[in-house]
Chain A
């Protein structure tokens, strides 16, 4: 199980801004280790964000997304205290969901 994400969601003037920092290696599968063997690819493929159970963003990542991916986006609606959940799945089937309250 991967480390928790850091999620910050703040509502202002009817728009909620969400910032997510995931903890993931994002190995491209093109890098070689010290003995010259390819390091197998290991990266987040899909991500979904839900506001009170309704999807507000779906993303697909390739290997070019940086290690410990950062993502920021905005959506209309959302009030203080609402729930915002973000979940991801990687190419090895690992997954993680974290939830925060909008403030």
Chain B
């Protein structure tokens, strides 16, 4: 009986594969932080999402631009882009206030990557879209309302 192997399996079972890899030094702390942020994506309100992102108290700023239509005909595909002219942007997050889970996507930008991302999101109804940018260790945010006219009746 190989007792060492049994011990290793027992320890591994508790930690899960990720913990095991982290313990073995295969995953650096930087990468470990990039694990899918379940609490942020499961949050049901803007405040909870900000808390989970560690962005509580983000200041409103005009240094971020949200590029998106004022009116989206199809809420299933709403193009949203976030651009910031600030230097040292480390992360960008896109939130949709009235969705069941506000956080739509978050981006980690290594040095050298421009603060400019575009994607497409789903919106259940007319809502504010909030962009949060982390630059130089500080969080700032801006918002833009997008009207959703599902069904094309101009509602």
Contacts and interface: CB of A to CB of B under 8 A. Distances in A.
A52 interface: no
Interface of A: 15, 26, 28, 30, 45-46, 54-67, 69-77
B interface SS class: strand
A65 B118 CA distance: 11
Given A64-B99, A77-B112, 15 more contacts: A45-B36, A54-B110, A57-B113, A60-B36, A60-B37, A62-B105, A63-B41, A64-B123, A65-B105, A65-B119, A65-B121, A70-B79, A72-B81, A73-B107, A75-B112
A57 B110 contact: yes
Contacts of B36: 45-46, 60
A71 B118 contact: yes
Nearest to B77: A66
B114 interface: yes
B67 to A, nearest CB: 11
Contacts, number: 97
Most chain B beta carbons < 10 A, residue from A30, A60, A64: A64
Contacts of A69: 119-120
Interface string B114-132: 1011111111000000000
Interface string B74-94: 001111010000000000000
B114 A55 contact: no
A30 B100 contact: yes
Given A75-B112, A76-B114, A77-B112, A28 B122 contact: yes
A26 B37 CA distance: 17
A53 to B, nearest CB: 13
A46 B24 CA distance: 23
Contacts of B1: none
A72 B78 CA distance: 14
A96 to B, nearest CB: 16
Given A46-B36, A70-B118, A73-B117, A55 B112 contact: no
